[in-house]
């Protein structure tokens, strides 16, 4: 039995692309604050691990899949945009700039063993005009997205360069996820 420790419809859709349908969805409720001096990679890994552990405690003997996506420019971790001001600030910061998108995946198997992987992608957005930022913010697709944009939607038109895992940027790197699920005993 597979439990997805996320309420993200994007993660459900990505899993469906590799033929995986979780038996249950049970979002983890963990504090996602950045710890003092925490590096972006460590932050993503810690949150994915904490989510998996929290949900596995509620579902002993089940396979639990958790993930966390972090957008960072340098050592600065960008927030999930929940309001227009945050979305605008993220878009202004990323405009014309290369940044990294990390998605950590954690799987706990039925025996309690934790396996983890980290996907790292490099994204460069074109320089954005004030009009483009206004139009994108009006679209509302940025809401709840790390870094204030969704590469799988309209914001892809702003992507000048991309290197890495597209599914990882969307929120669940399929290559890493599939291998972790297979190693955890899930038949695919």
Written as six digits, the tokens of 179 are 């291998």
Annotated active-site residue 134? The verdict is no
Structural contact between residues 114 and 106, judged by C-beta atoms closer than 8 angstroms: yes
- Which of 26, 50, 68, 109 is labelled catalytic? 68
> Is 169 in contact with 102 (CB distance < 8 Å)?
no
CA-wise closest residue to 136 among 145, 55, 75, 7? 145
CB 67 within 8 A of CB 108: no
Joined tokens for residue 147: 């870094």
Provide the sign of the torsion angle of the four alpha carbons 26, 30, 34, 37, taken in this order: negative
Catalytic residue ranges? 68
């Amino acid at each position: 039995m597979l439990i997805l420790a996320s309420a993200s419809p994007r993660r459900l859709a990505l899993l469906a692309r590799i033929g995986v349908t979780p038996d249950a969805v049970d979002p983890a409720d963990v504090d996602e604050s950045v710890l003092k001096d925490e590096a972006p990679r460590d932050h993503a890994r810690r949150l994915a691990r904490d989510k998996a552990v929290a949900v596995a405690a509620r579902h002993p003997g089940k396979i639990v899949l958790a993930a966390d996506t972090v957008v960072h420019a340098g050592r600065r971790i960008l927030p999930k945009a929940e309001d227009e001001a945050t979305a605008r600030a993220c878009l202004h910061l990323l405009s014309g700039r290369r940044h990294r998108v990390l998605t950590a995946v954690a799987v706990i198997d039925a025996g309690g063993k934790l396996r983890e992987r980290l996907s790292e992608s490099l994204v460069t957005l074109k320089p954005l005009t004030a009009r483009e930022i206004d139009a994108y913010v009006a679209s509302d697709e940025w809401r709840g997205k790390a870094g204030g944009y969704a590469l799988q939607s309209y914001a892809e038109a702003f992507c000048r360069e991309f290197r890495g895992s597209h599914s990882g940027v969307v929120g669940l790197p399929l290559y890493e996820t599939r291998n972790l699920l297979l190693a955890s005993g899930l038949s695919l």
